[in-house]
Amino acid sequence: MTAFPEESFVTPDGRTIGGVMMEMRNITLRFGGVIAIKDISFDIREGEIRAIIGPNGAGKSSMLNVISGFYNPQEGDVLFHGKKRPPMRPYQVARQGIARTFQNIALFDGMSVLDNIMTGRLTHMKTGLLEQAIWWGKAEREEVANRRKVEEIIDFLEIEHIRKTPVGRLPYGLKKRVELARALAAEPKILLLDEPMAGMNVEEKEDMCRFILDVNDEFGTTIALIEHDMGVVMDLSDRVVVMDYGKKIGDGTPDEVRASKEVIDAYLGVAHD
């Protein structure tokens, strides 16, 4: 049903979309008696922007938590690069190249923007506690290299002016951007964004859209995002999964999804006569 070619191809705007990177196969997730996700299958391809949408309580965030390995589904498998992924601890997921941002900002308020982003480099640091405490030789070189990477991200996201500002003093829109910076600092292969534009004004949303597109374009990062703003989703994403009450009710390009009767019914409601 998707208008997407099966094999890797180049989009009209010059991005390369490769083969399947991650596949959800018949995922079911229950919390006690509540079925949060019911038998959902879809895939995420290399280099694409994949959106997950749906009304409140549809199970979007749960889905993202399954992808990030935070929840282990009772049924079904997550395949990463064609291989079945065993249940993992969050740090193991991070090492695989998966990074995320949160719906409710989860930064260290008392630390500076720079230090917050540096924490995103943790998986790239090899030196031990003692070496870092003495901070000589290898540890110093490593920190300089990591700091350089972080500065490149600061430059990329245009937050030079708040480099040394404690995060707690920043307005909401900038905090969101710092969170994105921290996720990017891990140099992820796949980036999960949980409502990156919630609570933003139009200008902040436009900025954020531009950064998401730039990240995808510049680094070729695969992005999976949850978002409520339909305009944003339709403009931004290559393909969309639509969820309602834990079930998948649509999957395809924005145009296909927009035309689907089931999706319209879920969003606008159905007349009962």
Tell me how far apart the alpha carbons of residues 226 and 222 are, in angstroms, rounded to a whole number.
14
Residue 53 Cα to chain centre, angstroms: 13
Question: Residue 154 or residue 192: which is nearer to other proteins going by CB?
Answer: 154
CB of 210 to other proteins, least distance (A): 10
CB of 149 to other proteins, least distance (A): 10
CB of 161 to other proteins, least distance (A): 4
Question: Residue 148 or residue 272: which is nearer to other proteins going by CB?
Answer: 148
Question: Residue 112 or residue 253: which is nearer to other proteins going by CB?
Answer: 112
| Contact positions vs other proteins (CB under 8 A) | 13-14, 114, 147-148, 151-152, 154-156, 158, 160-161, 163-164, 214, 217-218
CB of 154 to other proteins, least distance (A): 7
Question: Residue 161 or residue 261: which is nearer to other proteins going by CB?
Answer: 161
CB of 205 to other proteins, least distance (A): 16
Q: Which residue, among 231, 173, 168, has the nearest Cα to 198 in the 3D structure? A: 173
Give the N- to C-terminal CA distance of the chain in Å, as an integer: 31
At a CB cut-off of 8 Å and minimum separation 6, what does 175 contact? 105, 107, 167
Question: Residue 2 or residue 201: which is nearer to other proteins going by CB?
Answer: 201
- Residue ranges of E strands in the chain: 9-10, 16-17, 20-31, 34-45, 49-53, 75-80, 83-84, 98-101, 190-194, 222-226, 239-244, 247-252
Q: Which residue has the tokens 């834990």?
A: 246
